[in-house]
Structure 1
Amino acid sequence: MSTQLRLDLPVRTALGRRDFFVSDANALAVAQVDRWRDWPSRKMILTGPAKSGKTHLCHVWKNEAQAEIVPAEALPHLPIPALAQTSVCVEDVDQIAGNRDAEEALFHLHNMVLSEGHSLLLSAQKPPMHWDLRIPDLKSRMMGTDVAQLEKPDDQLLAAVLNKLFTDRQIVPMPDVIPYLVRYMDRSFDAADRIVELLDSAALGTPRGVTRALASKVLKGLDISEEHP
């Protein structure tokens, strides 16, 4: 039997609105972002664990609001007055806590975007009370911003995330693989990302690709706590 050959294909992450799966775990946050025209003070903070869809939802908002997306750590190197001429999404704001240059740049961007009548979306893993910001005026503005929280995945969302991760890697697993993973894997977005990456590598040279047996082998290698066949 011939073995499956590896093609050096890029991982193509789908970031369109139709690619974002809505379940009970994220419906409220999605609705809050969708109502961006009604945000109090025209700003919102989007939080959630790693790989929970923050970047995807930020890109959805970017397209709807005709906004720019920038990483928080890049702010000291960007022309803030020019950037503030449109709506802006700043990603990973919690990562700049203690970086005075980046905090000052965010403070000025925040004020300029809102004074120009535009909207501001900020993303982070946790709410601003956990950011340990050093500039008091910036901290007070962040603490006064409404938060949209992406929750941990339920079964429906976890299955959709796994399906998307496989699709991004142009992998078609056997039909029983995703239900099996949902039942036995650690329930986190980060775990889903790692498992799909490991299955992609483990399937190299195998005749059947990603099977339930291969998924079981990968999960056992990760030493998860639940028993699984």
Structure 2
Amino acid sequence: MTFQACHQLALDLAFPDELRLEGFYRSPQHAEAFAAVSNLAAGTAAAQNLYLWGAAGTGKTHLLVAAARQASERVWAPYLDLLELSASTPAGAPDQWLAGLERAGLLCLDRMEAVTGDRAWEEALFHLYNRLQLQGGSLLMAGRQAPGASAWALPDWGSRANWGLVLQLPSLQDADRLAILQMRARARGLELPREVGEFLLQRCPRDIQSLNRMLDQLDRAALAASRRLTIPFVRSVLRF
């Protein structure tokens, strides 16, 4: 696969429609990160580089995809998943696959941990960073560790990754998960009573992707049966 084919694939991936800024749940602890991403997407940020870090399931990918979607209304704003990209890149050739990305108005690089410690990738990112800065573009990155605590192989890249604004996304609590479920249920035209949401959280996997799949299943069942979401109905659909 050529770089251009992979590059276009990265831009054309079909993400769930809910991965937009208006669909991001934000507690008071998320407010600073949400505002920073929104400003970057709108082109009004004071700092042109932003690094989000936090555990899996804290909303990093949601914010990066949403920022790319929002910014694409005014500039070229590619989103790249470095885990997927690095897995399909020939050894020693990341610079070829990153060529041309300095033309982006906003470049979103997700799952930075996938290339941490890989000197070839870090060198390619270092040079891309410098080219992007010269072109006046912005960079939004996300990883599981803070850039200053990551085991980079190239100190020069480590210092670049740590420039700009660095913000942690907090881990979700059950109250957050319940609020996310209720918000996404409303987006589907469903009402999820608190007691039903708590019932689900006690019995379902607690990661957001699993909860979303469960909500999709309930949505289809409720529509087919013309039923509200009640504990007995949920029991019958999910076979608890």
The TM-score, its normalising length taken from structure 2, stands at: 0.67
Task: Name 2:20's counterpart in structure 1.
Answer: 16
SS of match in other structure, 1:21: coil
State the AA in 2 paired with 1:38. Answer: A
Q: Would you say 1:91 and 2:90 are equivalent positions?
A: no
CA distance in 1, matches of 2:34, 2:180: 15
Q: Is the Cα contact below 8 Å between 1:43 and 1:120 reproduced in 2?
A: yes
| Shift of residue 191, structure 1, vs aligned partner | 2.9
Q: Pick from 121, 126, 129: which aligns with 1:102?
A: 121
| Shift of residue 181, structure 1, vs aligned partner | 4.2
Residues 60/200 of structure 1: CA separation in 2 closer, same or farther (3 Å cut): closer
Task: Name 1:38's counterpart in structure 2.
Answer: 45
Q: Looking at both structures, which has the greater relative contact order when contacts are Cα pairs under 8 Å and sequence separation is at least 6?
A: 1
99-108 or 58-67, which moves further after superposition?
58-67
Q: Count the aligned residue pairs.
A: 206
Q: Pick from 47, 59, 82: which aligns with 2:100?
A: 82
Name structure 1 gaps, 5 residues minimum: 1-10, 222-229
Name structure 2 gaps, 5 residues minimum: 1-14, 87-93
CA distance in 1, matches of 2:185, 2:24: 14
Q: What's the Cα RMSD here?
A: 3.8
Q: Pick from 140, 150, 153: which aligns with 1:134?
A: 153
- Taking the TM superposition and a 5 Å limit, the aligned residue runs for 1:24-173 are 24-36=28-40, 37-40=44-47, 42-65=48-71, 66=75, 67-73=77-83, 74=85, 76=94, 78-86=96-104, 87-154=106-173, 157-163=176-182
Q: Is the Cα contact below 8 Å between 2:50 and 2:164 reproduced in 1?
A: yes
| Shift of residue 173, structure 1, vs aligned partner | 7.8
CA distance in 2, matches of 1:138, 1:178: 44
Task: Name 2:6's counterpart in structure 1.
Answer: none
| Shift of residue 120, structure 1, vs aligned partner | 0.5
CA distance in 2, matches of 1:195, 1:59: 19
| Shift of residue 89, structure 1, vs aligned partner | 0.8
